[in-house]
Amino acid sequence: MPDILHLLTDRIDTPIGTLILVADTEGNLRVTDWTDHEDRMLLLLERHYGKNQFRLEPTRNPHGLTAALTRYFDGDLAAIDTLPVQTAGTPFQREVWRALREIPCGTTTSYGELAARIGRPSAVRAVGLANGANPIGVVVPCHRVIGANGSLTGYGGGLPRKRWLLHHESPARRLSF
């Protein structure tokens, strides 16, 4: 019988809703999602780790991850840059998710540019699907991917949250006179 994966959970009140974080006991962030999508998050965990193959334990600030995410929402945008993440998913999905972490804060890219960045310029649709399947939103910044024409495109947390995150990270917003 395989070992049950022990996962630690916490919740963070943010300006755009309550965020759930899930970490493993080694300190890797495994999932983030919004409480209004908690059912989706549980299905994702089952898909990635197997039904009845993980146990969630509420924990305050597991491995300092809650504090880092809180700092990000309070304006310290670099607080999440080096957080350790570990995900399941296909090798292609993990490749896309690694590339997402390389998009600098305060910038955006298109699906086509992201596909080219990973050396697969014709895989735009597949990149879009992998982006949409990202289990660690905000930290793996799928919100920084927009349409080729500059339009806001889908975001698992909803377009109002995507808009807020992009504004929060905007260099123009951080200028002070």
Choosing from 19, 44, 130, 142, the catalytic residue is 142
54-58/145-146 β-pairing: unpaired
Beta-sheet strands, E only, within the chain: 5-14, 17-24, 29-34, 54-58, 109-110, 145-146
Is 105 catalytic? The answer is no
Q: Tokens 């999508």 — which residue?
A: 37
Structure tokens at 175: 């200028």
Of 57, 55, 49, 45, nearest to 9 by C-alpha is: 57
**136 three-state secondary structure:** strand
- On whether the CB atoms of residues 130 and 88 are closer than 8 A, the answer is no
Q: What are phi and psi of 36, to 5 degrees?
A: -75, -5
Q: Tokens 């491995």 — which residue?
A: 63
Which residues carry out catalysis? 142
